Every structure is written in structure tokens, then in C-alpha cells.
Amino acid sequence: MFNYLNIWCTFMAEKEKIIEKIRENLKKIVDPEIGINIVDSGFVRDIRVDDEGNAEVDLMLTTPFCPIAHIIVASIEENTRRVEGVRNVKVNIVGFGIPPELERIMEERYRRMLEELKEE
């Protein structure tokens, strides 16, 4: 049984490495409206990879009418496929709105701007 557990742990560690590489590749995609990558801003909600190398990326958009949604989805597919071990990519739109991560980032930016204005 120990060998099976060891093999399973090695396999899970490899999947985590693939997910981390996908995450790093997706950080190269910057939302042009806000100038922040789609991972740090919270638009990428989840990344999964199954045993066959099929990757799924859950994506949130600000609105169903996002004019660059197709560009973002195509960029996610392209950057995910570049990761060794990924065979197929599926992007799921899982919601619309402003992610909490982006709200925190923007609040911090506004706070810093106000502090700079007070200093002048």
C-alpha cells in the first residue's frame, strides 16, 4: 500500500506543478482597462487539471457584454496550452461582477492616491 500512496502523492504533486505553471502563464494576460493581470485581479477563479491533462479555467467577467471577452478567453487557452502536460483547455465563464481581490487592489490604489494628494 505504501507504494500506491507514494505514487499518488507524486502524481498529485505533478498536477499542482502544472496548475502553478498555468497560473504563472495566465499572469501574463493583463486586463487593458485596469492594467492588472487576470490572476491577481481575481478574474481567474479556479484552475483544475485532470489525470489526462485536460485543464479547466474558471473565469469571471465584469459584464456579460465585455467587449474583449473573446480575446481574454483565447489568450487563456493559448497560455494554458503552452504548459507541458496540458492536452486540452476549457474556459468556463462562472460569473459577472467585480472580484473581491480587484476591489481590494483598487481601494489600496485610491487610498495611496488620496495620501499623495494630501501631501501636496
Q: Can you give the pLDDT at residue 26?
A: 98
List all residues 6 or more positions away from 36 whose beta carbon is below 8 Å from its beta carbon. 30, 102, 105
Q: Can you give the pLDDT at residue 116?
A: 82
Taking only the tens place, the pLDDT of each residue in 81-113 is 999 999 999 999 999 999 999 989 888 888 888
- Distance, in Å, from the CA atom of 57 to the CA atom of 73, rounded to the nearest integer, reads 10
Would you state the cell numbers that stand for residue 50, as one nine-digit string? 485532470
Count CA atoms within 13 Å of residue 16 on its CB side: 6
Domain hosting 53: range is 2-119
Q: Can you give the pLDDT at residue 5?
A: 57
Count CA atoms within 13 Å of residue 47 on its CB side: 27
Q: Can you give the pLDDT at residue 13?
A: 73
Element (H, E) at 44: strand 44-49
CATH number of the domain enclosing 20 = 3.30.300.130
Q: Enumerate residue ranges in the chain where pLDDT < 70.
A: 1-12
Query: What's the total number of domains in the chain?
Result: 1
Amino acid at the residue 83: V
